[in-house]
Amino acid sequence: MNAKQPSSDVQNASEKNRQSRPYGPWQIKTSAVMYEDPWVCVRRDEVIRPDGLDGTYAIVAVKPGVCVVAIDDDGNVHLTEEFHYAVGRVTLEGVSGGIEAGHTATETAHRELAEELGITAQRLIQLGVTDPFTSSVLSPTALFVAMGIRKGAATPEPTELIRPVVMSLEDAVEAVLLGQITHSPTCIILLRMAIQKAAVSVD
């Protein structure tokens, strides 16, 4: 993951807005940035709530990112095992990273695959975007499946102590169902892959 610049969405979220404006059933009176770094922006809005009362609302805007799961010709998925600071434990998940300004989600997915696992892919299939937590966190994550993969040398950042994990798609889905894989973008990708595989088998 690279944390050189805030994304355009985070930059937009950091702008102070002094004019009252509608926001769905809410009315935003003012917005102010309480904290900002290259990855995260915390914004506090003074609002008129849908019930007509005054209130406040805090939004945590995280740099938009990608999550990609690579699958090889034998039907095995390639995941990462790494300590993640926010949850304070080692997690098993797909390759993830933030989208830098001026880069596309597809470019980012290719870059992160190469950096974290040393994988190059002939084809990326985009599965859309997920919003992991919609009430107070803005963190759109583009989902990808990588196919036609070739393994090379990984070049992770110094803070990324990654152990590559290769397992069958079936075992990965079982890990999701057992609560052993909890990273929501990864869970979505694996379950969609399993459903698609089942649909192809039926056809």
CATH number at residue 78: 3.90.79.10
Structural domain harbouring 16: 8-62
Number of domains, the chain: 2
Are residues 69 and 56 located together in one domain of the fold? Answer: no
CA distance 24 to 54: 15
DSSP annotation string for 26-79: EEEEEEEEEEE-SSEEEEEEEEE-TTS-EEEEEEEEEPPEEEEEEE-TTSEEEE
Q: What is the pLDDT of residue 132?
A: 85
- Listed residue (30, 60, 56, 55) closest to 43, CA to CA: 60
Task: Convert the pLDDT of each residue in 8-54 to its tens digit.
Answer: 444 444 444 456 899 999 999 999 999 999 999 999 999 999 999 99
Q: What is the pLDDT of residues 121-176, one digit of tens each?
A: 999 999 999 998 899 999 999 999 999 999 999 998 888 899 999 999 999 999 99
Predicted pLDDT of residue 58: 96
Task: Please tell me the predicted confidence (pLDDT) of residue 72.
Answer: 97
81 and 17 assigned to the same domain: no
57 and 85 part of one domain: no
- If you ran DSSP here, which 8-state letter would residue 167 be given? E
Q: Do 167 and 91 reside in the same domain of the chain?
A: yes
Co-location of 69 and 58 in the same domain: no
- For residues 147 and 78, the answer to whether their CB atoms sit within 8 Å is no
